[in-house]
Structures are given as C-alpha cells and as structure tokens.
Amino acid sequence: MKFYTQQHRFYCGIDLHARTMYLCILDSQGREVFSQDLPSSPAAFLDAIAPFREGLVVGVECMFAWYWLADVCRAEGIAFVLGHALYMKAIHGGKTKNDEIDARKIAGLLRGGLLPMAYVYPSAMRGTRDLLRRRTFLVRRRAELLTHMQILHAQYNLPAPNKHLSYASNRTADLTERFTDTSVRKLVEVDLALIDQLDAHIGALELHLTRTAKVDDPQSYARLQSIPGVGKVLALVLLYEIHDIRRFAGEGQFLSYARLVRCSHESAGKKLGSGNKKIGSAPLRWALGEAACLMLRYSEQAKRWKARMEKKKGSAKTLGILAAQIGRVVYQLLRKGEVFDGKKFFGS
C-alpha cells in the first residue's frame, strides 16, 4: 500500500458521483476554506477551486466516473491523487456517512499523508483497455449461452451434442429438433441466435484491437507472445492491464497486484487468516489464469510439468502455481527484455 505524502498549501477532497460532487478544501493548518455540493462538470470544478489553485492537490475515491476529473486536472496542471477504494476504511467505516463527511475525510487523509493511492491510468490508453475488458465480458456471456445449451440437454435427459458447440459449423438446425416442446425449441433458437451475434461482434473487436491498438513497445508485445498459449489478444490484455512494469518494485508486488499472492493476517505471533482477495486487478488475474490454461493445452512440456506437480500439490494448487510462475515470467520479460525460456521455466 502506497500513501500520498507530499505537502501542499491546500487539500481538496471530492466525494464524486455521476451527476454531483461534494468539494471540501482544507488549508495546510486543517482549516476548512471551502465546502459545497456542485454539479459534476469541469466548469463548476474549476470555478470552485479558482481561489486555491496555487499549491492545490485534488483527491478522489476510485469509482467509475473519475476519468474526466483526472483529465481536467492534468490539462490544468493540478496535482491529482486517486484513492484506493478498498483501502479507504476511514471513508466507509464511519457511524454517520454523507457526501460532506466523505469529502472532508478525503481532504483530511490527503493532508495527513494517509490517503492510499490507486494507479491513475493514462488517458490515451484507457479506451483500448476498456475495450479489451468489454471483449472479455462478451466472451463470458457467450460461454454462459453455450453452457445453457448443455444444461437444456441434461434437463430433458437428451444425449449431449457430439461436437463442440463453440464452433459455428457444429451449431446446426437439428439442435432445435431434438426438443419436442415448442417453447423449449424457441429458447434454443434464441440462444443460438445470440451466440452467432456474439461471435460476429467478438471477431470484429479482436480484428480491430490487433490492427489498431497502440503498442508503445512492440518488442515487449512480441516477447509476451513467446510464452506458450499467449496469442495476440491475450498479449494485448497483459500489456494494457500492466501498462508500466516499472511501477512495481519487484515480483512480489506484481504478483500481489495480480491477486496471485495470499497475504496473511497475523497478530501477537498468531495467524488470523488471509487478506482481502479483491484487492488487485481482476482482469490481470484472469489473463494470467487463462495463459496457464492455454499453456497446458498447447505445450507438452507444460503437461509433463503438471503431471509431476499434481502428485505433490494437487490439481487446483498446481494451476495457481503455474499462473504465478507465468506472472513471474511476464515481469521478467517486461523488466529485463528477455524472451521465454522453456528449459529454465519448467526446470524450476
């Protein structure tokens, strides 16, 4: 956890919402010099902070609407701090909670050097990162529909399709004819139609991403694809979720951010469980887990390694270990400019 510890003349805490925002500004002595509920717009924000622009820092809790505020602060040369939502217990744990209290707490945390920081992702790359995340969302919806097709066969005690329905050529018209009830047939038709539409949109997204995505370091993009199972789209996901590997001091911090480290809680020499599993990047954790599954599908060395490791750790832990190993490799590839070495990887 990193805290913002720089000193300023004024500290602005904002409780931000989609349509409104509450601003509270404290001076260096902790005196409240401004407190008001305003509409969420650049003009209202700039007018409110105009008397305090010199030596001002702005802090806001990480939520879905922070993009525009970060861009305004950057364009105007104002220091901006994004607070980590899951670490800001002082905001969420109060007995009384409203916008005014929350804004003052954020300003107080800034002034005291206790505001936990989240990463402010660059505006030039946010759109592509969000598009990659949307692709993942659509792929999961497609998987749910395919699973529902399997469930329908089980519900009516019908034999499962002989071929994988993930391929369009295997989704033939006779799938609907297996069911006698007209409503169930219509249900199957709707599922098939949605799957076909998602296939088209996912394919178009992937084509757009691989052709137009801005890759600042093409060599790192190529190095990531040297990992067995990591293709063009998954390499883009890794690059855009990480952005700058130098923001992690070591492998441990990177694996913690990727939710691949179990953080223990201890007190007086006793273990009290593990830390919050939600702290970190869920898309990055998914990408490394997906890379582990694809590596096991396409690499014979990985299959032999898995067979050996399962005897010691079991199948579930083995997949987690493999994902963490791939995370370490990704860190080294991006940090040192190395390529994937199968002998070194599976030998360890």
Q: Is the dihedral of CA 321, 277, 257, 123 positive or negative?
A: positive
72-91 pLDDT, tens digit per residue, is: 999 999 999 999 988 887 66
Q: Is the separation of the CB atoms in 170 and 164 below 8 Å?
A: yes
| Ranges under pLDDT 70 in the chain | 90-94, 273-276, 348
At residue 11, the pLDDT reads 97
At residue 224, the pLDDT reads 92
Residue type, 194: L
At residue 92, the pLDDT reads 66
* Strand ranges in the chain using DSSP code E only, listed in sequence order: 3-4, 10-16, 20-27, 32-39, 56-61, 79-83, 115-116, 264-267, 270-274
At residue 170, the pLDDT reads 85
322-347 pLDDT, tens digit per residue, is: 999 999 999 999 998 888 888 888 87
